[in-house]
Amino acid sequence: MNSGFKSQVVPSYRLLTDEQIKEIHLASLDILETVGVRVNHDEAVEMLRAAGCRIKPGNIVQIPGWLVDQCIRSAPSRITIYNRRGEEAMRLEGRKIHYGLGTDLIKTVDVRTGELRPSTLDDVKNAARVVDYCSDIDFVASYALPMEAQTNMMYIECFRAELENTVKPIFFTAAGREDLAAMIEIAAAVTGGEAALREKPFLINYSEPTPPLVHSYGAVSKLLLCADKGIPICYTPADVMGASAPVSVAGAIVQANAEALSGIVIHQVRGKGSPIISGFFATPMDMLSSVFVYGGPEFRLTHSAYADIYHYYGIPCWGTAGISDAHGVDQQTAFESALTILMAALDGANLIHDVGYMGAGLIGSPASIVMSNEIIGWVKRMMRGFEITPDLMGLDVIRSVGPGGDYLAEEHTLKYYRSEAWRPRLSNRDDPDTWLMKGGKTFGQNLFDETVNILDTHAPEPLPTDVQMKIEAIMRKTEEALKEMYFIA
């Protein structure tokens, strides 16, 4: 046996071959060259004209393949994201996986009463505090959309609530350039200035084009501002098969990829090398209920496909997992969340959001986040795989114990038990009698007890007082500036 042998075993999965990826890429280029995309932003249209695009009436931009390939090459293959303390938190590259929340859920299942009600700003704060506590969730987002908040300040209020309730990186939405600029200013106040924020960003903006093949004024405005400021942006289309995209899986992938690539072109022409996360969302519309399906297998097929495509491009990719079409934290939520979390990890998606989503992207609950944290811990352990070395293969300890012995008191067991074996927080591992003696609680009961305990006891690290004062000043200035403004989508 080779005494210096060392090897790492990790689970692997891939859906598309290189030849299939190339065919999809060429089909997407064909769409961009012959059909084009509508760009409802005159400044961006002129910028693209100067870059070599053909402009047709109605702001239709036809993008040559050579420009697409050039922009794929200029987009960075690694994006490092920090927390608000300035510590490295995530490296978006290769097949490294990171899980976090999504944004804008309009309803919340109250964890104390079970009531399904409109979401509030307190739900944003609660989600952030739960994420701050959950060790296997890597980034936060608003999760809830506070229905009582002033419309033009809604996303800024959410951003502040997240800042005040977790140190983890923030994935956030904005209505337009104006409130996005305000949130970047707030983030700069936290880090000590725009230069420091550019060097160590702790935030990622999320924005979307509008299928089929349209980039709205608001979306492009945010794309350009992030390119100018060096703020990472996740710019990904959300296509619905049979509604805003072809009903076929392959057709939806080709169109969505064309939309995503055109966003990369706009972004990279504006700011070569600026950080962008790409990919796309494509899922069927249930033709009986008109619901956009989150928990179905077709969504996972398109997810695996775009992960393969963007690994091939060498661009960090977005993902979606921990999601369900169920309307409460129940068995359906558990199995759909578990399968999607596992599949996203096997896909190697880098920025995996929407953890804890229910009701096909309409409903949230802090308990769903806590449940997903347990599942993510299991999946991260599996994806770590295992190492093969002479010591870990354990020939010496096997010889020492011999036939009929046991390993409980062996130094080898003490040395490796914690690193080799994952231990859950909520799942049962007691024998039946011990379980009954402890109350005989189900996983669901443990889950809700744990969630309430987190909300009652966990105190996130506060922002420094001087930073809070700066944020308050920016908020008041922004509120006055946006008072009479309506954002253009």
Q: Is the peptide bond before 297 cis (omega within 30 degrees of 0)?
A: no
Does residue 103 have a pLDDT over 80? yes
Q: Does domain 73-384 have CATH number 3.20.20.480?
A: yes
b/e per residue, 355-393, with b = 16+ CB within 10 A? bbbbbbbbbbbbbbbbbbbbbbbbbbeebeeeeeeeeee
Does residue 244 have a pLDDT over 50? yes
Q: What is residue 4's three-state secondary structure?
A: coil
Does residue 290 have a pLDDT over 90? no
Task: Note the helical H segments in 15-169.
Answer: 18-34, 42-51, 65-74, 121-133, 154-165
% helix / strand / coil in the chain, to the nearest 5? 50, 15, 35
* pLDDT tier, 293 (very low <50, low <70, confident <90, very high otherwise): confident
- The continuous run of DSSP H or E covering 227 comes out as helix 217-229
What predicted TM-score, i.e. pTM, was given to this entire model? 0.95
Compute the distance between CA of residue 471 and CA of residue 180 in angstroms, rounded to an integer.
14
Does residue 486 have a pLDDT over 70? no
Summarised one tens digit per residue, pLDDT across range 391-414 is 999 999 999 999 999 999 999 999
Q: Does residue 117 contact residue 107 with C-beta atoms inside 8 Å?
A: yes
Mean pLDDT for 224-243 is 97
Compute the distance between CA of residue 65 and CA of residue 76 in angstroms, rounded to an integer.
19
**Cα distances (Å, whole numbers) of residue 214 to 55, 64, 460:** 14, 17, 41
- The predicted pLDDT at position 150 comes to 85
**Dihedral through CA 240, CA 242, CA 245, CA 250, nearest 10?**
100
Q: Does residue 422 contact residue 378 with C-beta atoms inside 8 Å?
A: yes
Q: How many CA atoms lie within 13 A of 275 on its CB side?
A: 23
Mean pLDDT for 213-231 is 98
Q: What is residue 374's three-state secondary structure?
A: helix
Mean pLDDT for 163-183 is 97
Mean pLDDT for 105-128 is 97
* pLDDT tier, 488 (very low <50, low <70, confident <90, very high otherwise): very low
Compute the distance between CA of residue 34 and CA of residue 90 in angstroms, rounded to an integer.
38
- The predicted pLDDT at position 4 comes to 80
Backbone angle region of 293, left / alpha / beta, with phi > 0 → left and psi within -120 to 50 → alpha: beta
- The predicted pLDDT at position 489 comes to 47
* pLDDT tier, 268 (very low <50, low <70, confident <90, very high otherwise): very high
Backbone angle region of 242, left / alpha / beta, with phi > 0 → left and psi within -120 to 50 → alpha: left
